[in-house]
Amino acid sequence: MKQFLRYFLQGLILFIPLIITVWVLYQLFDVFARLFSFIGLSQYSFLNTLLGFTVTVFFVALLGILASSWVFKQIFSFFEEKLEHAPFIRHIYSPVKDFTNAFVGNKRRFNKPVLVLTNPNANIHEIGFITQEDLKEMGIHDKVAVYLPFSYSLSGKLIIVPRENIKPLDANASDAMKFVVSGGVTDVD
């Protein structure tokens, strides 16, 4: 049963991003196919479907080209700055952006897995990731910020602990994250 659950979770980890990508592409394809049918570009529905598929492929490629261009990056930066300074939106957009970048961006934060002594009386340890090693700007000395992810969730909690309560793990950060998020079911190589 444990082996089956492990395979099931690995399948989900592989399958969910694929399904989301396929769903987004299908929605985009559906928009273009309906547009060509509405315009009546061709009286053959197969041809409209083929045109919708072709335009979808070229549209996604065009987005890739634009995303790598200097002009698009400048435009995106402009709108991103406006979002980060909007009164209510900034409290939602900025943390979500930072959290996403912590996992997949160029500024990955969850790259230092550690074992944290969270309950010295019961000798309980948790796996976490150092997110800030210097908290002097907040008036906190000799402590580090550690993010403890929850199992079967993308959420977690931030704790501030003394340096002597953490021990670096000799493990790949992504393997450590998979191990925690899977509830310890995933094997770590």
Over range 67-83, report the average pLDDT.
79
In whole angstroms, what is the distance from residue 139 CA to residue 119 CA? 24
Query: Across the chain, what does the average pLDDT equal?
Result: 77
- How many Cα atoms are found within 13 Å in the side-chain-facing hemisphere of 111? 9
In whole angstroms, what is the distance from residue 117 CA to residue 112 CA? 16
Give how far the C-alpha of residue 58 lies from the chain's centroid of Cα atoms, to the nearest Å.
26
Task: Classify the phi-psi angles of 160: left when phi > 0, otherwise alpha if psi is within -120 to 50, otherwise beta.
Answer: beta
For residue 105, the model assigns a pLDDT of 53
In whole angstroms, what is the distance from residue 128 CA to residue 145 CA? 10
Residue identified by tokens 């210097």 is 134
pLDDT single digits (tens) 119-132: 989 999 999 888 88
Residue pair 161/178 in contact (Cβ under 8 Å)? The answer is no
We find that the CATH architecture of domain 109-181 is: Roll (2.30)
Q: Model pTM greater than 0.75?
A: no
Residue 53 has pLDDT above 70, yes or no: yes
Confidence of residue 86 (pLDDT cuts 50, 70, 90): confident
Residue 1 has pLDDT above 80, yes or no: no
pLDDT single digits (tens) 151-172: 877 678 889 999 999 999 888 7
Structure-model confidence comparison of residues 100 and 147, the more confident one? 147
For residue 160, the model assigns a pLDDT of 92
Show me where the domains of the chain are located. 2-103, 109-181
Helix residue ranges per DSSP H, 40-108: 45-67, 70-85, 90-104
Tell me the backbone φ, ψ of residue 79, rounded to 5 degrees.
-65, -35
pLDDT single digits (tens) 101-118: 665 555 566 778 899 999
For residue 115, the model assigns a pLDDT of 93
**Alpha-carbon distance values, 161 to 2, 34, 142, 146 (Å):** 34, 56, 9, 7
Residues 6+ apart with CB under 8 A from 93: 83, 84, 86
pLDDT single digits (tens) 17-43: 667 777 877 888 888 777 777 776 666
In whole angstroms, what is the distance from residue 50 CA to residue 45 CA? 9
Q: For the packed helices 70-85 and 90-104, what is the interaxial angle rounded to 10 degrees?
A: 130
